[in-house]
Amino acid sequence: MPIKIENCSFSYRRNIPVLRDLSMSFKEGNTVLLGPNGAGKSTLMSLAASELEPDRGQISLVDGPARASRRELREYRRRVSWLPQQVRPVGGLRVREQVAYAGWLKGMTRRAAWDASQPALGSVALSDLAHRRSSELSGGQLRRLGIAQALVHEAEVVLMDEPTAGLDPLQRAGFRELLENLPGTVSTIVSTHQTEDLADTYDEVVVLEKGTVKFQGSVSDFLATASPDAAPGRQAESAYARFVKAEV
């Protein structure tokens, strides 16, 4: 079901294009979007989230219409959620209230958002903290709160920008477990430049460099591009270096 990008171009300034005539489709499941800083990952994620609109081309759900009207854009935003790098507590709100508030902002009625907030918290193992003030959560708990906010309105695709940046190995393991336990109807697209947990976490790999897709395929196909001399456990790093040599 996820997202289709057709002939999209985008520039922050007219003479410096970030993406040019990009066409691709993200698949169902867990996809990792790899690339060095400046590759265009955050721009592509912002376009997919409808936070930005392309200068040319169109973005749509694979099984849905393009975002050509307000009604279509509302439907797109209902089905696609955006989790930025920093999830911030809303002052004065408790955990369940903040999740319900996110649902209300997406167009749900207050009652529907409140009813849906508890299952959303359950999906990220935060039910026991529902009545705690969101400002009292740890960084890892805030990240889970952000995912609950993304799921409360029954999103089918969750976009995550650098969700493991700054996390230690134990916290990254918690993030992997969280992805594994998401509802089967939810697909994720995760932007990162880290390759450590790739084989244990994702189904599909997309490598972006300078606004161009250098690789798209399964994790096994990606790892197969590694150098034969790659040390055990370093295959993902070796494969990544093949496609972004100038940045290594």
The catalytic site residues sit at 162
DSSP state letters, 161-224: ESTTTT--HHHHHHHHHHHHTS-TT-EEEEEES--TTHHHH-SEEEEEETTEEEEEEEHHHHHT
Paired sense of beta strands 3-13 and 56-61, if any: antiparallel
One-letter identity of residue 8: C
Is residue 85 helix, strand or coil? coil
CA pair distance 82, 21, nearest whole angstrom: 23
Strand partners, 191: 33, 161
